Amino acid sequence: MAVLEIVEWPEKVLETRAQEVVHFDDALRKVVQDMHDTMDDHNALGLAANQVGVLQRIVVMRIPYGRKDGPRMWWHDKRFTLINPVITKTEGRATLSEGCLSFPGIYEYIQRADEITVQAYDEQGKKFEVSGSEYFSACVQHETDHLDGIVFVNRMSRLKAALVRKKLQKQLVMSQGE
Ligand SMILES: [Zn+2]
């Protein structure tokens, strides 16, 4: 088990496009395992490789089922590894509250597609396709954005994004002053 260090904004790797995975080998499977360990350690719902400083198109996800979550969905509590994910279908619009390990303490409502279908490869190189809505959908879109170098602040209104950037810069100055 290895918990990797989380890269926080404004590190450039968060705004850099990650490269397609070509070799489905033991080195890849080690990164995938470490990413799952890191996600679990932080009680996060998802993690993209950029967030641990790896510029490869790898996403891990696990969305726990909580009592306030409404009906239990097929994707609740299920562990996902999405390599080279491509969203092939989107439908509707929905707004959910999102957070991000790379933006500690920031939670904002983001509007995204309501339902999505995503194609990806698992760590053995086997292709699969899954569809889902709600938190599954928001999480896949949030994490695949990371792979394209897009952070969730870019999905906020201009005013909200400016406020978040200002807040984070203030936190950064304060932590450097300690
Ligand atoms: Zn994130």
pLDDT tens-place string over residues 113-166: 999 999 999 999 999 999 999 999 999 999 999 999 999 999 999 999 999 989
The Cα 88–Cα 131 span in angstroms is 10
- Greatest Cα pair distance, the chain, in angstroms, is 49
The rounded Å distance from CA 144 to ligand 1 centre is: 9
Asked if 143 is an active-site residue, the reply is yes
For the ranges 50-54, 58-62, 64-68, 110-114, the lowest mean pLDDT is seen at: 64-68
The rounded Å distance from CA 147 to ligand 1 centre is: 10
Provide the pLDDT confidence category of residue 178 given band limits of 50, 70 and 90: low
The rounded Å distance from CA 102 to ligand 1 centre is: 6
CATH code, 37: 3.90.45.10
The rounded Å distance from CA 100 to ligand 1 centre is: 4
Residue 35 placed within a domain:
yes
pLDDT of residue 161: 93
Residue 18 placed within a domain:
yes
Residue 5 placed within a domain:
no
Greater confidence (69 vs 121) lies with: 121
Q: Please, which contacts does 89-96 make with residues 24 or more away whose CB atoms are closer than 8 Å?
A: 89/115, 89/116, 89/117, 89/131, 90/115, 90/116, 90/117, 91/115, 91/116, 94/133, 94/134, 94/137, 94/138, 96/134, 96/135, 96/138
Q: Among 98, 108, 123, 143, which one carries the catalytic annotation?
A: 143
Residue 36 placed within a domain:
yes
Residue 143 placed within a domain:
yes
Q: How many domains are contained in the chain?
A: 1
Residue 56 placed within a domain:
yes
The rounded Å distance from CA 60 to ligand 1 centre is: 11
- Name the residue range of residue 26's domain: 12-177
Residue 53 placed within a domain:
yes
